[in-house]
Chain A
Amino acid sequence: MKSWICATLLSLTLVASSQAAIDTYEFASEAERQRYRSLVEELRCPKCQNQNIADSDAPIAMDLRAQIYRMLEEGQSNEQIVDFLVSRYGDFVLYKPPVTARTLLLWYGPALFLGAGFVLLGVIVLRRRGKPGTAASGLSAEEQQRLAALLKQSSVDNKD
Chain B
Amino acid sequence: MKRLILLLPLAVFLGVAVFLYRGLFMDPSELPSALIGKPFPAFSLPSLDDPERTLSEADLKGRPALVNVWATWCPSCRHEHPVLNQLAERGVLIHGVNYKDERGAAQKWLRELHNPYQLNIEDARGSLGLDLGVYGAPETFFIDARGIIRHKFVGTIDERIWREQLAPIYQSLVDEATP
Which A residues have a C-beta under 8 Å from some C-beta of B?
A: 46-47, 49, 58-60, 63-64, 67, 86-92
Contact = CB atoms under 8 A, between A and B. Distances in A.
A88 B28 contact: no
14 contacts: A46-B135, A47-B136, A49-B28, A49-B29, A58-B135, A60-B134, A60-B135, A63-B126, A64-B130, A88-B132, A90-B31, A90-B32, A90-B33, A92-B31
A4 to B, nearest CB: 32
Interface string B15-40: 00000000000001101111100000
Contacts of B35: 88
In this complex, the interface size class of chain B, counting residues with CB under 8 Å from chain A, is 10 to 19
B32 A89 contact: no
Contacts, number: 36
Interface in B40-74: none
Given A46-B31, A49-B28, A63-B126, A88 B131 contact: yes
A49 B33 CA distance: 15
B133 interface: yes
Contact of A89 (B29, B34, B136): B34
Majority secondary structure, A binding face:
helix
Secondary structure class of chain B's binding surface, majority of residues? loop
Contacts of B31: 46, 89-90, 92
Given A46-B31, A49-B28, A49-B29, A89 B133 contact: yes
Contacts of A91: 34
B94 to A, nearest CB: 23
Given A49-B28, A49-B29, A67-B130, A87 B136 contact: no
Interface string B103-138: 000000000000000000000001000111111100
Nearest to B31: A92
B34 A90 contact: yes
Contacts of B135: 46-47, 58, 60, 89
A92 B135 CA distance: 12
A63 B130 contact: yes
A82 B132 CA distance: 16
Contacts of B32: 90, 92
Nearest to B73: A59
B41 to A, nearest CB: 9
Interface in B128-168: 130-136
Contacts of A90: 31-34, 133
A58 B28 CA distance: 17
Nearest to B33: A90
Nearest to B36: A90
A58 to B, nearest CB: 8
Nearest to A46: B135
Contacts of A92: 31-32
Given A86-B34, A88-B133, A90-B34, 20 more contacts: A46-B133, A46-B135, A49-B29, A58-B135, A60-B135, A60-B136, A63-B126, A63-B130, A64-B130, A67-B130, A88-B35, A88-B130, A88-B131, A89-B31, A89-B133, A89-B135, A90-B31, A90-B32, A91-B34, A92-B31
